[in-house]
Structure formats: C-alpha cells, structure tokens
C-alpha cells in the first residue's frame, strides 16, 4: 500500500503552484482566486486560510457526491534528506502507519477500511503526502487521526526493524529485480552531478540497511509539523465546515521549528554528454533512451516550460508525434518510441525520448534518427497546425482534470507544496495560449543540448548455459 511515488500524473504536470501566504486567520477567499475564477470559469472555487500554528488549508468544493478527499502534504522529500541516510523520507512514510498512543500499530488503515474508505501515502523527491477518501460523515474521524500522528507518532524498536526489512524487500523487488529500473536509477545518478535528485527516492541499498529509529525520529521531529504542511480537503464540504474541523483537530497541534527555505546544490554547467550502458541477462530486448537536463515549471524562465511541454508533445509524445510516425510507422526502425517533458520537480525537470529498436536495427540508427528529428525542429520549427493540436490537447486534459476530486486534491497539493501559487495553477490554459511557434523553436535550440544529456542503453546479456554431454 505504501509506496514510492513513481509518477505525478498528467494533472500534476500542468500545475506548479505555490500557495499565497496570507497572514489573516479569518476565513475568506483570496482576491487572486476570485479574480482567476471569474476570468476563466474553468475550475472550482478554491478557498485558502491559515491556522495560527502555521498549517495552510485549501478547500476545493465538489458537491456531486457525499464524499471527501483529505490530504496532508509535508514540504519535504527525498531530496531534503541528510547525507548518508538516503531513503529516510520514504521509510518514515511507512512508519507513520505504526500508530500513536491512541491508535495501535497497523490499525490506521484498518480503521479507514472499516468505515468504507481508502487511504495511502507516497513520497517523491520534493514532498511526502498522506491521503484518505471517505464518506463525508467520516471527515472528522480522519482529521483527528491524521492530526494525531502529525505530532504523536509512537515508534517501537521492533516495529522499526520489521519495517526496515519491508523497504529493503521493496527495493529488491522494484529495483534490483528490474533491469529497466536499475538503468533509470543510473541515468538519474549521471544526469545530476551535484543535485540530490540523483539519489533514488527509495534510497541506496547499503544506506537503507542502516536506517534506524533515531534517523526516523530526527526526520519526523524536524519536518512533520503544521507549519511545514498543507491540508487539502476536496469534496462535499464548505469552507466554513472545514475551518471548524481544522481548528478543532489541527489547531491544537504545536508549531514546529521554523525551517529555512529549501535550497539545494545546483548543477554545474554541462560540458560533455554522458552514456550509461547496462548489460543484463534479464533484459528482454535492446532499448535506448536519452534524458536532457531542463528547468522545471518553478525554475524555468517565463514561458519556457509551457513551450517545452508543447514542443515535446509535437516531437515525441504519443502515436501522433513526429518521432513515432517516422521511427515506428514510416521507417519501421522501432517497435515502440516516445518521450515527453517532466516539469514537476521543485528545482529541475527533464526532457526524455526512448525507443525499442526493431529486429536488426542498431542503437546508432536510432540515435541518428533522433538527432535528425531535433535538428529539423531547430532549423525549420513546427507548424501552427501542430502547435494548435498539442495546445488543445493539454487544455482539454486540464479541464477534464477538474472532474476528478482526488485529481484536484493532488493537483493543488503537490503544486503548492513545491513553491507555486494558486493563480499559477488556474492560469495554466492562458499561459499555453501565449506560446507561439517561434517559442518552440527557441526552446529546442536552448535545451536540446547533447552536453546536458545522458543516454541510457539496456542490452540483453546472453545467459551462460552449461552444455551436458549425452
């Protein structure tokens, strides 16, 4: 149930948003929110307020069914870990289900399930989040439980050791037993020379094996506090209802230490492309991929991230992309091909492209086709028709995302936790409309730079089979 968050989903790719910090304790809609809602009419009426202890609260009404999604987002992820304890953020996520004085170990999820709800948690490089989806009448119950473990987590040594075995087995099954996962891990380590995004969220095996109760409690005491968290409640509620419940259950939780703004080591200017080759007998087919270091929504110059998203949609994403049509359909150089832009990191994003060569096709042929594709875009750009098709697809996805209660909770929660504003989220369609064909050509020239890339190749390794004489 508890797991490393492998992907943020399309809804989160659209949004990169930080909450507007308001000092008022009264309940009211932000003027920015009111202005945005009136301007585009494409989203819910979102309300924000802050408790005295520093907890940010966002309410997203959705009255179509008597159900609510309750999420607590902590502004801490794997990239915030101290050196030598990689995986502690994910480990603590597991340990948060071990109970408090009020809740016995292992009972948190069982209580939710007995009331017909569901719960889970996830860890990424930038956030750790816990969520429940329950009937409206059970919202007070989950608020009380989540507020309790925000400050009253109880960890027994035997439970810590048992759960450490669980995460070690998780790494073995998800990473060590998967050649593709091992290659992806090595690509990230090569892409980020200085930034902690090069360290896997789940952690390195040799460091995970040493994680202790003390490590977990140190991480918990430093980062798990209302003034380092955002509460998102989406569903059949009103702002007044949520305010009363939040004051009752989260209000008494003591404020934690005031943390400095998150600042991580930045990447040096790239000077040479890198290549990672993994040979593994478990690999079914030869595969090729390339990743380019790129800015995220938060760090990109104005308009660049939107242009990159549209560029990669036209160039490599999906079966309508230029890449797929040429490599798979026309030239039959690959059995599958694709790519995209991952812009959701707090500090960095990446551009990526991949292909599985057809039988008899070499890696060099794939690389030549990729280089020709990007060279053509740099030289000749793309058409207005291609741009409009990509833009309309993203705007449609954004609007459809407003129909998902849990999707909205994740959209706002992740974005606000990583440093953007509510206005940034809601102005996404308008920003896409400002991108022109010249912008796509410009960002292709700027960011599709081989010096800022890592190429990964997975090769099947012949198995050694002993011959037996008859």
Return d(Cα 20, Cα 426) in angstroms, integer: 13
Return d(Cα 100, Cα 83) in angstroms, integer: 28
CA distances from 466 to 17, 372, 469 (A): 58, 44, 10
Return d(Cα 132, Cα 55) in angstroms, integer: 18
- Each as own residue / partner, the long-range contacts of residues 332-341 (CB below 8 Å, 24 or more positions apart, any chain) are 332/358, 333/357, 333/358, 333/361, 333/365, 333/366, 333/369, 334/358, 334/361, 334/366, 335/285, 339/312, 339/315, 340/312, 340/313, 340/316, 341/13, 341/294, 341/305, 341/308, 341/309, 341/311, 341/312
Return d(Cα 94, Cα 98) in angstroms, integer: 8
The beta strands (E) that lie in 153-282 are given as: 229-235, 274-280
Cα atoms in the Cβ-side hemisphere of radius 13 Å centred on 445? 11
Q: Name the active-site residue from 45, 81, 93, 309.
A: 93
Q: What number of other Cβ atoms are within 10 A of residue 167's Cβ?
A: 22
Q: What number of other Cβ atoms are within 10 A of residue 267's Cβ?
A: 16
Q: Report how far Cα 160 is from the mean position of its chain's Cα atoms.
A: 26
Contacts of residue 218, defined as CB under 8 A and 6 or more positions apart, other chains included, come to: none
Determine phi and psi for 184, rounding to 5 degrees.
-60, -40
Query: What's the Rg (C-alpha) of the chain?
Result: 23
Return d(Cα 56, Cα 422) in angstroms, integer: 13
User: In degrees, to the nearest 5, what angle opens at C-alpha 466 toward C-alphas 465 and 469?
Assistant: 135
Residue whose entry in the numeric block shows the structure tokens 């990239």: 79
| Residue 52 annotated in active site | no
121: nearest Cα among 151, 82, 154, 149: 149
Return d(Cα 449, Cα 443) in angstroms, integer: 10
Token pair for 305 = 């991230």
Return d(Cα 67, Cα 83) in angstroms, integer: 42
Catalytic residues: 93
């Amino acid at each position: 149930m508890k797991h490393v968050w492998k992907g943020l989903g399309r809804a989160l790719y659209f949004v990169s948003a930080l909450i507007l910090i308001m000092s008022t304790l009264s309940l009211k809609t932000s003027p920015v929110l009111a202005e945005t809602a009136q301007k585009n009419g494409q989203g819910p009426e979102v309300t924000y307020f802050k408790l005295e202890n520093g907890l940010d609260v966002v309410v997203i009404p959705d009255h179509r069914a008597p159900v609510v999604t309750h999420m607590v987002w902590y502004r801490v992820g794997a990239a915030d870990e101290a050196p030598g304890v990689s995986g502690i953020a994910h480990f603590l996520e597991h340990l948060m289900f071990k109970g408090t004085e009020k809740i016995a170990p292992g009972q948190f999820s069982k209580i939710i399930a007995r009331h017909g709800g569901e719960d889970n948690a996830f860890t990424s490089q930038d956030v750790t989040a816990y969520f429940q989806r329950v009937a409206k009448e059970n919202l007070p119950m989950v608020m009380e439980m989540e507020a309790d473990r925000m400050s009253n987590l109880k960890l027994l040594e035997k439970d810590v050791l048992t759960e450490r075995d669980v995460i070690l087995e998780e790494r073995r099954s998800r990473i060590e037993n998967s050649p593709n996962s091992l290659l992806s891990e090595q690509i990230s380590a090569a892409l980020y020379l200085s930034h902690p995004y090069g360290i896997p969220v789940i952690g390195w095996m040799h460091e995970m094996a040493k994680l202790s109760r003390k490590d977990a409690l140190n991480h918990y005491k430093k980062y798990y506090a209302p003034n380092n968290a955002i509460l998102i409640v989406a569903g059949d509620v009103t702002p007044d209802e949520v305010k009363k419940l939040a004051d009752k259950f989260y209000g008494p939780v003591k404020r934690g230490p005031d943390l400095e703004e998150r600042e991580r080591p930045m990447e040096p200017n790239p000077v040479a492309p890198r290549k990672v080759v993994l040979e593994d007998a478990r690999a079914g087919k030869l595969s090729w991929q390339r990743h380019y270091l790129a800015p995220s929504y938060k760090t990109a110059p104005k308009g660049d991230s939107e242009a990159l998203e549209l560029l990669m949609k036209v160039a490599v994403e999906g079966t309508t992309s230029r890449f797929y049509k040429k490599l798979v359909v026309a030239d039959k150089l690959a059995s599958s091909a694709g790519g995209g832009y991952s812009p959701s990191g707090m500090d960095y994003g990446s551009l990526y492209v991949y292909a599985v060569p057809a039988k008899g096709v070499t890696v060099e042929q794939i690389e030549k086709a990729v280089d020709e594709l990007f060279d053509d875009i740099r030289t000749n750009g793309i058409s207005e028709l291609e741009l409009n098709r990509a833009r309309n697809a993203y705007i449609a996805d954004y609007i459809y995302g407003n129909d998902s209660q849990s999707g909205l909770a994740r959209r706002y929660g992740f974005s606000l936790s990583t440093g953007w504003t509510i206005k940034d989220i809601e102005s996404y369609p308008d920003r896409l409309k400002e991108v022109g064909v010249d912008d796509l050509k410009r960002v292709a020239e700027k960011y599709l730079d081989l010096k800022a890339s890592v190429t990964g190749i997975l090769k099947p390794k012949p198995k050694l089979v002993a011959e037996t004489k008859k």
